[in-house]
Amino acid sequence: MLSLNPIDLIQQGGFAMYPLLACSVLALAVIAERAWILWRVVRPVKPVIAAVMSRVARMEFEEARMMLRTARTPAVEVFAGALAPRGDNGAAPRSAESTLREMERKRQELLCGLKRHLWVLGTVGSLAPFIGLFGTVLGIVRSFHSMALTGQGGFAVVAAGISEALIATAAGLIVAIVALAAYNTLISQINAFGAFLKFRVEELAHAREEREPAHGHVAAVR
C-alpha cells in the first residue's frame, strides 16, 4: 500500500527523489531570499519618491537631496543623478540627456541585482520534470526486472511497481510548478518595479528642468 508519509514517499520514489529534494530546498531558499530582498528594496521607494517630488515642486532641492541620501533603499541611487548639483568644482553642467542616460544605467544595474539567482528557479523548473521522469523510468525497469527474476507477473504486480515509480514524476512536477510560479511572479514584480522607476526618473528629471532655471532666475533678480 502506498504511504503518504513524506519520508516513505522519498524512499518509495527511488534514487531520483534525492536530487529532487535538493532542487526543492535550493528553490525555496532562492524564493525566500529574493522575496525578502525585493520587499526591502521596493517597499520604501514610493513614499520616499512622493516626498522628494513634493520638495522639488516647492523648489526645495537641497531638502530633496537629503531625503535621497538618508533613504534606506538602494533604489534611490537611480534618482540621485536627477538632483545632483550642476557645475560643481568647476565642472561643466551635464545635459538632461546625459543625466537620463546615467540614471538609466543605474536603473538597469539595480534590476540586474534584483534578478540575481533567479536563473536557479528557471533551471529547477525546467529540470525537475525530467529528473522525475527519469526516476519513473528507472522504477518501471526495476519492476519488470524483478518480475523476470521471480517469474511472477500479472497486472497487480506491475501496477504496484508502477504506482511507486510514478511518485518521482509527481514530485518532479510539484517542484517544477512551485519553481516556475515563483520565477514568473518575481520577474513580473521586478519588471513592474523597473517600469515604475523609469517613469518616476523621467518625471523627476523633467520637474527639475522646469523649476530650477526659474528658481535660479528669481535668486539672481534678488
pLDDT digits (tens, 9 = 90+) for 29-80: 999 999 999 999 888 888 888 888 888 878 787 888 888 888 878 888 888 7
Q: Is the pLDDT of residue 2 over 60?
A: no
Angle, in degrees to the nearest 10, between helices 155-221 and 6-13: 110
Entry pTM: 0.78
Question: Taking the mean position of all CA atoms in its chain, how far away is CA 182?
Answer: 8
Question: Taking the mean position of all CA atoms in its chain, how far away is CA 74?
Answer: 16
Of residues 115, 103, 107, the one with CA closest to residue 188: 115
CA distances from 21 to 29, 135, 171, 205 (A): 12, 13, 9, 49
Angle, in degrees to the nearest 10, between helices 17-42 and 6-13: 130
Q: Where are the beta strands (DSSP E) in the chain?
A: none
State the average pLDDT over residues 2-27.
Answer: 78
**CB < 8 Å & 24+ apart, contacts of 38-42:** 38/114, 38/186, 38/189, 38/190, 38/193, 40/73, 41/73, 41/74, 41/75, 41/110, 41/114, 41/193, 42/73, 42/75, 42/189, 42/193
DSSP string, 66-102: HHHHH-SSGGGHHHHGGGPPSSGGGPPPPPHHHHHHH
Instruction: Give the separation between CA 122 and CA 9, rounded to whole angstroms.
Output: 25
Q: Give per-residue pLDDT as tens, 136-195.
A: 888 788 777 777 776 666 666 666 667 767 888 899 999 999 999 999 999 999 999 999
Of residues 23, 25, 11, the one with CA closest to residue 128: 23
Residue 222: pLDDT band with limits 50, 70, 90: very low
What helix, strand, coil percent values describe the chain, rounded to 5? Answer: 85, 0, 15
| Element of type H or E holding 194 | helix 155-221
